Amino acid sequence: MSKLQGKVAVVTGGTTGIGFATAKRFVDEGATVFITGRRQKELDEAVEAIGGDVVGVRGDVSKLPDLDRLYETVKVRGKIDVLVANAGTGEFAPLASLTEEHFDKLFDLNVKGTLFTVQKALPLMNDGGSIILIGSVASVKGTASFGTYGATKAAVRSLVRTWTVELKDRRIRSNVLSPGPIRTPLVDLQQPEAIARIVATIPMGRIGEPDEVAKAAVFLASDDSSFVTGIELFVDGGRGQV
Ligand SMILES: NC(=O)c1ccc[n+]([C@@H]2O[C@H](COP(=O)([O-])OP(=O)(O)OC[C@H]3O[C@@H](n4cnc5c(N)ncnc54)[C@H](O)[C@@H]3O)[C@@H](O)[C@H]2O)c1
């Protein structure tokens, strides 16, 4: 039995990496999935590669009018059962030399974009639905140059605590799914020495694959996690746990 049969899901930033893998898993589990991306070409390629019941909507989730347009499109196909606020950016710089521009860029997308992605979805969400925000192990593990990024993801973790309480009467569950280092365009694999340093901090001795995060997303999206809300689920090979 498919775990998401008949469900409608939205995955922001679904053209690459974790968002792409999650959208693919959701479609394979029977869901209708809307993905977002900023560039039409990448969006079309992702829709083609995922196949099945997937719709691409172009937009930048840090811009509120784009979010309105996204949900206008989704509305035509019905209510939302699962929302994955995945779009996020990671640029890394020591706090001591951080610029205001860098700070604003990260907070605009990772915090403001994530908050309004959820807020604007609420009128369309089915009671009993599931909200998944993508966090990061960087919020609990001090790592040089990850300060601003980690702070944005700590904010995401905090937002979920509040959504969990504010949405309880509608039985909407909200959880954070926090990956450790995963093989996606966000992680620069062209720097083998940096990767080796990261891998040395991971008990499982390797970086993760996008589909390993996607499998956990299916758990949080489906009835398998019917009594799970307000948590942070780490998919990090143990990196943040030791
Ligand atoms: N890869 C990792 O190691 C890792 C670890 C922890 C958390 N994460 C988080 O996972 C999520 C997905 O990242 P990923 O690793 O798959 O990298 P990625 O670069 O493949 O994915 C990021 C996605 O967000 C989209 N995006 C970026 N800015 C956007 C915007 N303004 N509007 C709409 N979409 C936008 C990108 O187009 C892309 O599809 C992010 O929130 C990231 O912070 C990644």
Q: Whose alpha carbon is nearest atom 20 of ligand 1? A: 17
ipTM: 0.98
Per the domain annotation, does 79 fall within a domain?
yes
Nearest CA to ligand 1 atom 30: 60
Closest ligand 1 atom to residue 14 Cα is 39
Over the stretch 128-168, which tens digit does the pLDDT of each residue have?
Answer: 999 999 999 999 999 999 999 999 999 999 999 999 999 99
Predicted confidence (pLDDT) at residue 189 exceeds the cutoff of 90: no
Residue 7 has pLDDT above 80, yes or no: yes
For all residues of the chain together, what is the average pLDDT?
97
Query: CATH number for the domain including 62?
Result: 3.40.50.720
Residue 190 has pLDDT above 90, yes or no: no
Q: Is the CB of 18 under 6 A from ligand 1?
A: yes
Q: Do β-strands 80-85 and 173-179 pair in parallel, antiparallel, or remain unpaired?
A: unpaired
Please choose, from the candidates 178, 172, 167, 192, the residue with its C-alpha nearest in 3D space to the C-alpha of residue 86: 178
Instruction: Give the total number of structural domains in the chain.
Output: 1
Which of 12, 15, 16, 69 for a ligand 1 pocket mutation test, highest count of atoms within 8 Å of Cβ?
16
Domain annotation covers residue 44: yes
Residue 37: Cβ-neighbour burial (10 angstroms; 0-12, 13-18, 19+): buried
Determine, yes or no, domain membership for 2.
no
Residue with tokens 């949900």: 71
